[in-house]
Structure formats: C-alpha cells, structure tokens
Chain A
Amino acid sequence: MNSKYDFQVVGNDIVESEKIYSDNITYWQDAFRRLKKNKAAVICFWIIVALVFFSILGPYMNHYSYREMNSAISDQWNWSVFTQGHWFGTDEFGRDLWTRVWEGGRVSFLIAITVVVSEGIIGSIYGGLAGLIGGKTDLIMMRIVEILFVIPPMIYIILLMIVMGPGINTIIIAMAVSRWVPMAMIVRGEVLRIKEYEFVMASRALGASRFRILMKHLLPNTLGIIIVRLTLDIPGVIFTEAFLSFIGIGVPAPQCSLGSLANTGYIQLYSAAYLFFIPSLLISFVTLTFNIIGDGMRDALDPKLRH
C-alpha cells in the first residue's frame, strides 16, 4: 500500500510538494523495462541462451566427436542407432548428428557474431565520420556508399569466396565487407540528426574536439539504433552462411555449419529425412528467435515508435 509511487498528502510545504520521489531511470533502464514486458522477446531470449549453451557444451555431452566416422553403422544403418547414444541418429558416414549439429551451431553463431560486430564497427565509423565532418567529404563518402549499395551483396560474396578459397575466415571477411554499407547509411543519418542538438553545441562551445564529440555524444546516442539493426542482421548472416554452405562454397568438410548439414542432409531427403529436418529446424529456430528479439528491441529502443 505505502509504496513510494502512491499519492500521499504532504501538506502545504512548498519544498516537500516539489520533491521528486521516484528514482531517475536512464534510457537503457527504461528500454530494458520495456523489453521485459514483451513476453515473446523474453522467451526468445532464454531460447537463445539455451541454444548458445548447447552449441558450446553440446558436442561434449556424448562421447562421439564430430569427425569420427563409423563404417559399421554406415554400412548397415537401421533405426536402432538412436538407442546407441546417438540422440539425433547418424549421417551417411556414421558420424553422430547430435555432436555435428551443435558443432555446426557453434560455427554458425561464431560467424554471425563476428560478422555483425565487424559490420557494426566499420559501418558506424564510416557513417559517423561522414555525418560528423559533413560538407564535401560527406558528399563523396555517401556517393561511394550509394554506388556500393546497388551491387547485390550475394554476387560479390560468391566472387570473394571463389578467389579466397572456402573457409570460416573467408566467409566472415566476405560478409563483413559487403554488409557494412546499410549500417553506414543509418549511422550517418542519426549522427546528422543528433549533431544539431543543444548538448552537442554545448560540448563544442566548451572546446571538445570532434573526435571527443563523436565518441562521447554521437555514438552513444545512436547505439540503440545500431544494436537493434545488428540484432535484426544476425538472422540475415545465418541465412547467407547457410545459403553459401548449401550451394557448396561455405565451410569445407569435415567442419560443418548448420547450412552444410542441411545440404548434405537434403541429398538423403527420401531415405533419412531427419538428416535434413533437424539442422533445418535449428536454422529456422535461430533466425525466428533473433527476429522476434530484434523486433522487441526495436519497439523498446526506438523513440519514434513510443507512445
């Protein structure tokens, strides 16, 4: 009953009646509170935590390694393998699918996070500088970005993959190179908007350098939008990686990713459909949960959507 948010009679004391009783909350606390109200996003967050947990520890949960073949099983395969400790069954070489799925999940998560972080860094530095310096520099930098924006990313990802040869590092570089462009455009727009605010002017009047203004005022204030954008980009990266692995230029064997598992599973769709459906379900699940979290974060962080 007597919570501090309830109305209470304070009498005629002017000082007492003007006093603010509730705690100040920062932008991030407020956003976090909003996010917590979104049930779907909270559930998805815990699903992601569980998936990350399994991709780190899953391969060690049974005593098979992801590259260990078993010709006895692959020669005479039958449904009894599921009872021999192969919880998801075995693939065409008798390798344990449970271990391979989580190993693949780990590769996919690793690629997604590295790509997203590097695209965030490149994009915000480029966009931030263009917006901050302005004038001719901004014009030239934005013309470059506009031209790059038109080139379909998948085409030069494929070209880069062919030139650099398959491998996890190549995938990360190729995707980071192609994905920072929209990020730079968003950050520049935000920086241009915030640059005109009074607190930036005050900081400039106090003699802060451009770099300090960028790091202290502009980037922290665009961080919300950057984070939302990056969360919504994770499904895209996992998509692209799965796509590349599916057409066969992604992660080289015996390493695996969720996409390459779906690819090898697809070949046996009619004889052992679980080889295709288990990795596919996991890909869809990961992208679905990230999409829902991203939408939730956008609703919580984007001031334009607030009412």
Chain B
Amino acid sequence: MTKYILKRIMYSIITLWLIATITFALIHCLPGDPFASAKAIPPAIKAEMMAKYGLDKPIYQQYGIYLNNLVHGNLGMSMRQRGRTVIGIIETHFPYSLDIGLKAIIFGTVFGILMGIISALNRGRKWDTFSLMIAIIGVSVPSFILAGLFQYLVIFIGNLTGYNILPVAGYGSFESTILPSIALGLFPVAMVTRMMRASMIEVLSQDYVKTAKAKGVSPTGIVMKHALRNSIMPIITYMGPMIAAIMTGSFVIEKIFAIPGLGKYFVESIFNNDYTVVLGVTVFYATFLTLMVLIVDISYGFIDPRIRLHAKKEES
C-alpha cells in the first residue's frame, strides 16, 4: 500500500512539473514582449525593465527562477491590474468557485446515486425510463444552454405571476447558488446515474444478493447493506473527472450567473490578454486537479480491498 501511495505521489509530482514546463514554454512562444503594448519606450528604459523582471537572463536561468518561484507559491503580478498578485486574486476569487462547485458535486452524486438505484430496481419500468431520459438529456445538453434556459424560465414565470422564485444572477444568499449548482451538476447527475444503474444491475445479480434474499433480508436492507457499498465503486473512480468537468464548466456558469468566482475571472483575463493571470490560474487549476485525482486514487486504494491486495502482492 505504501508503495502504491508513493508511486501515485511521484506521478503527480512529474505531472505538475510537466504542466509547469509546458506553461513556461508557452509563455515564451507568445509573440512580442510584455512591454510591447505600452507606448514607445526608450531603449534604455526598456532594457532596465527587462532587467527588473529578469527577462535579460538566459532562458535556462529564467526557467530556474520560475520553478523556484512556483515552489514557493509565487505566481507573479497581474499585468493589467496594478498591485494585485496572482496568488492574491486566486485567494479572493476561488472560495466562490469552491462553494458553487461543492454544491454541484453534492447535487450530482446524491441525485445521481439515488436515480441510479431507483432505475436499477425498477428496470424496464416507468421510473427507469424517466431517469434514463434525464440522464441522456443531462449528457447531451451543455451546461450553458441549461443555465440560459433556467434564467429564461425563472424570468418568464416571474413576469407571469409577478413573483420571482429564485434570483437569476449574483452571489449572496443560499437561494442564489441553487440555479448555478443545478446547471453545473446536471452533467454529473447524468453520468453518475448511468454508471450507478449499470453497476447496481450487475451487483444485484450476484450470488451474495441472492443469498441475502433467501435469508429473508428486506429489499431496503439488501440495497443498503449489500448492494450499495459494492456498486458505488465506479462512482468513486469517476470523482476525478467529475471535479474536472465541474471546474471547467464553472468558467461559463460563473460568467452567466455573474458570480465573482475564479472561473469568470479566468475567462476575463483571457480576454484582457492578462498572460500572467492566465498562466498562474492555469497552474493553480492543474495543481488542484492533480491533487484531487491523487486523493481519489489513494482513497480508492483504501476503500477497495482488491486494489490493496493487488498492491501487497506486487510488494512481496
């Protein structure tokens, strides 16, 4: 098990180094230099500015400084917003994204698992068709379309009845996070439902479920005690990609619902050509996701005894 964990950690470190290097290479591929947009600068001043930001050094030295800064959590300054560090921007804006993202994840897993169980238990009946329909719609309709549709419906109902059910934009109360979380979470709901249904059907046909049935365990007991814990395994592997999907989905959702999160900020800095922010946030997102995948992988090893035994066999 220790070997398995160490191996995973080593992979994650290599991944992070790779991301940092790709990012560095891409910065240097960008056309022009950072001061090209300003008015004509005298060569002497420009040389001084290059020296100040360390851009006059040979590229391998710049790379070393960059990696050193990254390790110390220094992502540089914003190029468009004077006096703001990239890390400061992340600190102010990321909590909003985290709030929406967590709610979407909870919504996605809880509803997905519930719908998956219901449809597996009622295979081929009305509820099964219903949840499969929700699942196929959730996979096929992009989140930004759902978001627009939700906003339109809420306003339409508001105009009709003179009463707004939910706020359509902004960030504040719990109610204002409902629509964004649903729009963001419907794709995970759909994926989890399909996976849960498939694995639940498989588990329900196993011999130990038949034994439990023969012993007289109630249907709820079978699902809760015997089937759920075994069929939930694929969902845990899906957690990594799900977090990635929700995080990238939030770029658009935050823009649509005017939530001051990191995703909206990221998209804005793409527009403003605020390269340092774009690259800093990219590295941050990549690190965050790599960590999440690492945690999921390790916890999977703890939860699933088969992986634990397999790792042990490899060690001995």
Contact = CB atoms under 8 A, between A and B. Distances in A.
Interface stretch (B75-83, B94-102, B210-218, B248-256): B248-256
A146 B139 contact: no
A262 B148 CA distance: 10
A305 B236 CA distance: 23
B140 A287 contact: yes
Contacts of A200: none
A276 B148 contact: yes
Nearest to B288: A152
A139 interface: no
Contact of A163 (B26, B136, B140, B256): B26
Contacts of B244: 152, 154
Contact of A147 (B14, B30, B149, B282): B14
B119 to A, nearest CB: 15
> Chain A interface: which size bin?
35 or more
B286 A151 contact: yes
B141 A246 contact: no
Contacts of B282: 155, 158-159
B142 A239 contact: yes
B29 interface: yes
A78 B248 CA distance: 38
A248 interface: yes
Interface in A261-291: 262, 266, 269-270, 273, 276-277, 280, 283-284, 287-288, 291
Contact of A152 (B14, B22, B285): B285
A247 B26 contact: no
A147 B18 contact: yes
Interface string A129-161: 000000000000000001100111011101110
Contacts of A147: 11, 14-15, 18
A280 B150 CA distance: 13
Contacts of B270: 158, 162, 247-249
B255 A247 contact: yes
A155 B267 CA distance: 11
Interface in B1-41: 11-12, 14-15, 18-19, 22-23, 26, 29-30
B267 A284 contact: no
B293 interface: yes
Interface in B130-167: 136-137, 139-142, 144-145, 148-149, 151-152, 155
A180 to B, nearest CB: 16
Size category of the binding interface on chain B:
35 or more
A235 interface: yes
Contacts of B248: 152, 154-155, 243
Given A154-B248, A163-B30, A262 B18 contact: no
B233 interface: no
A280 B18 CA distance: 37
Interface string B251-276: 11001100000000001001100010
Contacts of B19: 151
Contacts of A155: 248, 282, 285-286
A160 B26 CA distance: 8
B271 A152 contact: no
A147 B214 CA distance: 47
A32 B149 CA distance: 38
Contacts of A256: none
A150 B12 contact: yes
Given A247-B251, A266-B256, A152 B289 contact: yes
Interface of B: 11-12, 14-15, 18-19, 22-23, 26, 29-30, 136-137, 139-142, 144-145, 148-149, 151-152, 155, 244, 247-248, 251-252, 255-256, 267, 270-271, 275, 278-279, 282, 285-286, 289-290, 293
24 contacts: A150-B11, A151-B18, A152-B248, A152-B289, A155-B282, A158-B278, A243-B251, A246-B142, A246-B144, A247-B252, A247-B255, A262-B144, A266-B256, A269-B148, A269-B152, A273-B152, A276-B152, A283-B141, A283-B145, A284-B140, A287-B142, A288-B141, A291-B139, A292-B136
Closest 7 pairs (CB-CB, A-B): A288-B140, A154-B248, A280-B145, A287-B140, A284-B141, A152-B244, A150-B15
